[in-house]
Amino acid sequence: MIYKFSKNFMKEIGQERIIFILCLFVLGYGLICIQPYLLPQIVNKDSTISYVNFSLFLITLLVPSLLNYLSNFFVQITREVSKNLVFDFFKSQNYEYFLEFKSSELQGIVSEISFTCRAIAQEIVPAFIRASITVIMFSVFIGMQDKFLGVLYCILCIIYMTLSSYSSKKNRSNIQSAIGKTLDVNKGIDDYFKNIDSIYSYKMFRRESEIFRQKTKEEANIYYRVQKSIYNIYFCQQILLVGIISFLSLLWVNNFDYSRNPISFILVLIYSVLNLSSFGTDFLSGIELKDRLNIALSKIHYGIETAQHILEIDKREQSIHVRDLSFRFKHTQSDNKEVILDHVNLIFPLQKNIAILGGNGSGKTTLLKIVAGLFQPDEGKVTIPEGIKIIYVGQDSMIFNRSLKENLFYGVTEITSNKIKELFYLAKRLQINEIISKDSDLERELDGETFNSFSGGEKQKILILRSLISDADVILFDEITSGLDAVSATTFYKLIREYSSQKTFICITHRGEELVNFDIVVSL
């Protein structure tokens, strides 16, 4: 999954742009790495100042700040592209895919993917480039003075980086255990809120406090051990690095050419400690971020696309034809499948008002969603005439966090003045003209919180209004009158009767007294 995501990520940003960004990082860290070489060259042998070298050294001091701009640019591109890739993946999935998740869960996963990608771009990529450039350039600098020491420096640094990576990787199991303890603490909080009635009824506050304190104590202890282990590894890595530097220094002293200035060599060794000391920690962080990204991608099944449900179009059809339709619902807790629809055959003529009746679990909603192309039947098919547009409107349908105009004219190809007049007319008929009565109302931004502040009846009237002014030829209403009073329900049926010459309405209803408003009644 992570390979496919990375491949799509690079393709989305563009190979040329990625190469350009990486080259700038290489150039920046390369300039920083020439500081040990430039610094001794500032003062010439005759004690005069080399202004060229001095100017170059000052420029290299500005490079870290300039790299911040590059890092910010890279991070923001990563933020944009990572979220776009996940959204494009969601867009490619069918309707049933989203039934597996809660909205808040998907938001959390998208945030996690974006965060890990940004952290890799901001911390891990620059750290690995810095370490690589340090080893390469300092090997060259030392090799210019002593080829043997240059090669030895390179080999010892590679050994150090390898051992640092290995020792840091071994600590992953301890970190996983610590994360498990954190999950236990979170479960304790969740348990408290879920069982608050029982806790108050049985007066078990002290017992719950003891259990929770024990969990937090265990969490603190294991994190202390993990952090101590990390510090031990870091300390060992520092000893190893200092040992390597000391060994190289001894070799240098023993083979010292007094005709050359030793300051640059000493500075190279100092810069090596500064640039390579955190390599093991950076490597561990990179592994953790990779694991987190992989887990987040696996949760949404990234890279596994589901087949879109496409209704069969028949140019000869003059109605919606349901042929031998069967649908079985698979329970998430088992492999058992519950039969919802069993070899159903129906015909829905166009420009008619059709009611669907049936008890709970009879498959009314499932049938509408299959007709709308949202669900894929296990057997049978639905054929529709060419060129008709079908929309499904559920009683719990929501609105977008956009303006009222964008919400009400959602899917409308052309918003004409007549359409706007029709909108205000319908708002008045549905008695929501307090919400929608003038042009300025249409520009008002709506969000989920605002929509939730409306009454159940107002929400359903807004959904009815949006569907009536849409370009849809067939509108499937799923118990849309459940939140309406008798007067509003009567108005609704008058309106669909008025629109029946333009549109087909198929409605699920439980109210027997409403059946007089329909041309056809279908019972499941």
- Spell out the alpha helix ranges (H) of 277-336: 279-299
How much is the pLDDT for 59?
92
Q: Mean pLDDT score of the chain, rounded to an integer?
A: 86
Mean pLDDT in residue range 105-116? 89
Q: How confident is the model at residue 249 (pLDDT cuts 50, 70, 90)?
A: confident
Amino acid code (one letter) for 254: N
Same domain, 352 and 406: yes
> pLDDT per residue over 326-352, tens digit each?
998 876 555 677 889 999 999 999 999
d(CA 293, CA 6): 11
How much is the pLDDT for 232?
80
Q: Does the predicted model carry a pTM greater than 0.85? A: no
Cα 214–chain centre separation: 35
Same domain, 120 and 250: yes
d(CA 382, CA 327): 12
Same domain, 265 and 155: yes
Identify whether 19 is part of a domain.
yes
Inform me whether the pLDDT recorded for 81 exceeds 80: yes
d(CA 423, CA 409): 9
Same domain, 346 and 206: no
d(CA 306, CA 296): 18
Same domain, 273 and 358: no
Mean pLDDT in residue range 199-216? 87
d(CA 142, CA 139): 5
Identify whether 305 is part of a domain.
no
Share of the chain above pLDDT 70, in %: 94
> pLDDT per residue over 424-459, tens digit each?
999 999 999 888 888 888 888 776 666 667 787 888
Q: Sheet of 474-478: strands edge to edge?
A: 390-394, 474-478, 504-508, 353-357, 520-523
Same domain, 322 and 231: no
Q: SS3 for 225-254, per residue? A: HHHHHHHHHHHHHHHHHHHHHHHHHHHHHH
Q: Number of folded domains in the chain? A: 2
Mean pLDDT in residue range 480-484? 86
Domain range for residue 61? 2-299
Same domain, 320 and 245: no
Same domain, 512 and 462: yes
Same domain, 26 and 153: yes
Same domain, 352 and 246: no
Inform me whether the pLDDT recorded for 229 exceeds 90: no
d(CA 70, CA 59): 16
Lowest mean pLDDT of 106-110, 190-194, 289-293, 446-450, name the range.
Answer: 446-450
Q: Are 474 and 506 in contact (CB under 8 A)?
A: yes
Same domain, 446 and 350: yes
Q: Are 157 and 135 in contact (CB under 8 A)?
A: yes
Q: Which residue has the higher pLDDT, 239 or 27?
A: 27
Closest CA to 520 of 373, 381, 346: 346
> pLDDT per residue over 31-80, tens digit each?
999 988 888 888 777 778 888 888 998 999 999 999 999 999 999 999 99
Identify whether 209 is part of a domain.
yes
Mean pLDDT in residue range 484-510? 92
d(CA 265, CA 295): 45
Identify whether 304 is part of a domain.
no
Closest CA to 428 of 416, 440, 436, 419: 436
Q: At what angle do helices 147-170 and 172-194 cross, to 10 degrees?
A: 30
Which two three-digit tokens encode residue 260?
């050359």
Inform me whether the pLDDT recorded for 108 exceeds 70: yes
d(CA 336, CA 484): 37
Q: How far is CA 509 from CA 52, 356, 363, 480, 517, in A?
A: 86, 6, 13, 8, 11
